[in-house]
């Protein structure tokens, strides 16, 4: 399989892994003829041992394909911990649940921050399906005091009993498989994937939409964008958000869900000018738009429609308690104050490093505006500190 972009060529051993995953996906294709893109994305990311998130390959940091906010600075986790502490102090049984904990960096810094603030915590649950990532998380958390390590419990499924907790999901929604849609003046199409034996690669194959729910979604988008241009309008829809939020609402007795991800409100998401959608792939810190490039060796993501998140959350029983940009959330949660506490006035290099970290997390052309934070609460009602500077719920 030849790359179609000027991207670094992977080592031969990794090419073989991608070839093996391609073989498995082709076996599925032979049974079904073609696959909805959402199913292809699921296989490319989560096939046990071979999918991008299910393999032991480095993903986050200099040796991986992308960087996340917790890896940029401990200030991110400390701000989240401040917001979480405000909620935890109101819970009879204060627990934290983190989805997709990556290398464990957020958990480590978060636990340290709660401990420094003398915030009681019963258990810090990590919901993680990857055995490899569990091992990395355990290594990251190993230097913590034993009293903190004992609070960490790994789960491979959702809690089965009602629980009070603050739930954190940083860059989780963007990794959920999405449907690829193509809207044209005379028809609406759903993106499928087929394999071209001659070219030895996967390809797009669009079929007329027959699913009522998808057609309803297309009709809503068409109201937003008007009649598509002759070139058509491509976009994505995440059908997993509603059932995922319902599964959380089912076990969360009291508390809050904090979602941090890159995305837009619906009005911003479905703009006529955004005719190529938001599907992006990340490979060795390079972004491109070909999801068929070496399956299993790259991340595949799509931006989040936060209006959809709010509607789904409300529908399953959550209150929409706040929505804002990452920059305003961090500022409201005291990132500058925390920076002053960590800064060493006698160490110019350290101070400059902290300043650069804050810029990366908050500047509009970095992560500050692209990333949003939404808070969904259940059986708890208080003004959340992270949204006091600028609450954008009215834009949802």
Model confidence band, residue 362 (pLDDT cutoffs 50, 70, 90): very high
Statement: residue 392 has pLDDT above 70? yes
Statement: residue 219 has pLDDT above 70? yes
DSSP state, 120? -
pLDDT of residue 352: 87
| Cα four-point dihedral sign 98, 103, 108, 110 | negative
> Which region, left, alpha or beta, applies to residue 318 given φ > 0 means left and ψ of -120 to 50 means alpha?
beta
pLDDT of residue 340: 87
pLDDT of residue 3: 43
β 280-283/233-237 pair status: unpaired
Q: What is the pLDDT of residues 237-258, one digit of tens each?
A: 999 999 999 999 999 999 999 9
Model confidence band, residue 1 (pLDDT cutoffs 50, 70, 90): very low
Length of the chain: 396
Model confidence band, residue 87 (pLDDT cutoffs 50, 70, 90): very high
In the block, which residue shows the tokens 């409300």? 314
* Closest alpha carbon to 116 in 91, 142, 148: 148
Cβ atoms < 10 Å from Cβ of 395: 14
Model confidence band, residue 318 (pLDDT cutoffs 50, 70, 90): very high
pLDDT of residue 266: 96
pLDDT of residue 6: 78
Model confidence band, residue 73 (pLDDT cutoffs 50, 70, 90): very high
Distances (CA, A) of 337 to 231, 258, 272: 50, 22, 41
Task: State both tokens at 53.
Answer: 């998130």
**What does residue 207 show for φ and ψ, rounded to 5 degrees?**
-120, 150
| Dist. CA 76–CA 150, nearest whole Å | 23
Statement: residue 133 has pLDDT above 90? no
Taken in order of first residue, the domains within the chain and their CATH numbers are 9-385 (3.40.50.12710)
pLDDT of residue 2: 43
| pTM attached to this predicted model | 0.95
pLDDT of residue 349: 79
User: Are the C-beta atoms of 286 and 195 separated by less than 8 Å?
Assistant: no
* Closest alpha carbon to 178 in 239, 224, 127: 239
Percent of the chain clearing pLDDT 90 (strictly above): 88
């Amino acid at each position: 399989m030849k790359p179609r972009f000027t991207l670094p060529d992977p080592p031969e051993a990794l090419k073989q892994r991608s070839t093996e995953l391609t073989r498995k996906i082709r076996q599925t294709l032979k049974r079904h003829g073609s696959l909805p893109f959402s199913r292809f994305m699921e296989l490319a990311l989560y096939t046990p041992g071979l999918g991008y998130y299910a393999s032991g390959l480095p993903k986050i940091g200099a040796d991986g394909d992308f960087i996340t906010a917790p890896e940029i600075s401990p200030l991110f986790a400390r701000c989240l911990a401040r917001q979480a502490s405000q909620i935890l102090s109101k819970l009879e049984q204060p627990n934290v649940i983190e989805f997709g904990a990556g290398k464990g960096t957020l958990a480590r810094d978060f636990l340290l921050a709660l401990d420094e603030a003398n915030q009681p915590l019963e258990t810090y649950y990590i919901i993680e399906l990857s055995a490899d990532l569990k091992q990395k998380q355990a290594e990251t958390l190993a230097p913590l005091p034993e009293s903190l390590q004992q609070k960490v419990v790994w789960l491979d499924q959702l809690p089965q009993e009602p629980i009070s907790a603050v739930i954190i999901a940083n860059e989780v929604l963007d990794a959920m498989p999405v449907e690829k849609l193509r809207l044209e003046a005379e028809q609406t199409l759903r993106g499928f994937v087929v394999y071209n034996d001659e070219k030895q690669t996967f390809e797009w194959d669009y079929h007329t939409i027959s699913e009522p729910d998808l057609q309803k979604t297309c009709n809503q988008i068409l109201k937003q964008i008007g009649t598509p241009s002759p070139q058509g309008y491509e976009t994505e829809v995440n059908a997993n958000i509603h059932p995922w939020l319902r599964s959380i609402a089912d076990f969360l007795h009291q508390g809050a869900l904090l979602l941090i991800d890159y995305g837009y409100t619906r009005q911003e998401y479905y703009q006529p000018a955004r005719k190529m959608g938001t599907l992006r792939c990340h490979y060795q810190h390079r972004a491109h738009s070909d999801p068929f490039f070496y399956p299993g060796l790259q991340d595949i993501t799509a931006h989040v429609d936060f209006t959809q998140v709010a509607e789904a959350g409300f529908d399953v029983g959550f209150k929409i308690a706040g929505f804002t940009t990452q920059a305003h959330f961090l500022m409201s949660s005291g990132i500058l104050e925390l920076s002053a506490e960590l800064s060493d006035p006698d160490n110019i290099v350290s101070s400059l490093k902290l300043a650069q970290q804050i810029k990366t997390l908050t500047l509009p052309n970095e992560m500050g505006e692209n990333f949003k934070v939404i808070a969904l609460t259940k059986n708890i009602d208080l003004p959340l500190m992270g949204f006091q500077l600028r609450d954008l719920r009215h834009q949802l």
